[in-house]
Amino acid sequence: MSMDEAKITALIQRSRDAMEFAYCPYSKFPVGAALLTTDGTVFTGSNVENASYGLTVCAERTAIWKAVTEGHKRYQALAISTNMDDWASPCGACRQVMLEFGKDYPVYLSKPDLSYVKMTPIELLPLGFSPEMLHEFQENDNENSNENGIENHKTDK
């Protein structure tokens, strides 16, 4: 599904609006995301930091978690915003989560002036571990196990 320029700008603006809800007392770096599902629903997210830094959640993952927990797993586009004068590029964990739900939907990395660069999850994480790779491995593993007469046995000790 192709989006016209007005819809792209509106989605980027929604991601900018989401930045207002960022909880970032440590980094002082608000990030906003807006995720458009295939049925037209938009889920927004902002980063939520924690004093235990590893527990921080990025805006992109917040938006995706909200969508998934509402039953939405197919996406039309994702917009990401920060206050940097450079493109709002997602971290590695977010790239992996985006790839979980599709390789080819547009991801708009934006600047404060609403300009953007369009990428896809597979472009952002070219050799990422995708669900298809796991399914392919499992199918091949099952075929090899059956062909070689290998069975899984548990041993009691």
**Which residues belong to the active site?**
60
Beta bridge partners of 116: 110
Q: For residues 14 and 79, is the Cβ–Cβ distance under 8 A?
A: yes
Packing angle of the helix pair 5-18, 59-69 (nearest 10 deg)? 100
CA atoms within 13 A on the CB side of 22: 28
Encoded tokens for 148: 């070689």
Residue 32's contacts (CB-CB under 8 Å, 6 or more residues apart) are 14, 15, 16, 17, 18, 19, 20, 21, 22, 44, 45, 46, 59, 80, 81, 82
d(CA 52, CA 90): 20
Q: Dihedral of the CA atoms 81, 84, 85, 90 (nearest 10)?
A: -50
